[in-house]
Amino acid sequence: MCNKRMYIRMAATDQEFAKSAALLSQNEPWVSLGRTYDYTMGKVRDSSGELYVVYCGDEIAGCILLEMHGNLKGFIRSFCVDPRFQGLGIGSKVLSFAETLIFKNHPNVFVFAASFNEGAVRFYKRHGYEHIGTFRDYVTAGSDELLFRKTIGPSNSFPAVHEETDL
């Protein structure tokens, strides 16, 4: 339970990257998809993404990896709350943070959820995400990736505002 100051910031230290890679690789869907710590460390360190870490006091309680450039601008690559901190509303707060950050410059937030990860599917639907596509056998045979989207308008009529964001 987190009864200390909770905050989120962009990852900056080796410890933050390592803890985030450990959290992601030791939880679903990464375990079932066979994603190792080394693979995950490569993803969280990839310069095309923005890794944010969630703190409860001085403990890392979760992380979210965003992609703000590329074909799916505003894509949530990975998202995890440490099981010790689940059920406290942290996931909803982190998702809201990501949406606010993304919607400043892009009208859509995209995220994949593994078809077997029923908790994630429920979570995104509960937060207003629409299932817009299914990628059959996308990562592993027998497992589909469900693409979800939350939008505030079409991308071709969205005026991107490029400004700094305080975390």
CB 136 within 8 A of CB 144: yes
pTM across the whole model: 0.89
Q: Which CATH architecture has domain 6-111?
A: 3-Layer(aba) Sandwich (3.40)
The Cα 139–Cα 17 span in angstroms is 23
CB 110 within 8 A of CB 74: yes
Q: Percent of the chain beyond pLDDT 70?
A: 94
Delimit the domains of the chain by residue range. 6-111
Dihedral in degrees, nearest 10, Cα atoms 78, 124, 161, 71: 60
Distances from the Cα of 100 to the Cα of 40, 89, 114, angstroms: 25, 17, 24
Reported as a single tens digit per residue, the pLDDT across 81-106 is: 999 999 999 999 999 999 999 999 99
The Cα 74–Cα 82 span in angstroms is 23
* pLDDT in the model for residue 166: 46
Among left, alpha and beta (phi > 0; psi -120 to 50; other), residue 112 is beta
Q: What angle do CA 59, 41, 111 make, to 5 degrees?
A: 85
Q: What would the mean pLDDT of 131-159 be, rounded to a whole number?
A: 89
Tokens representing residue 26 in the block = 């030791």
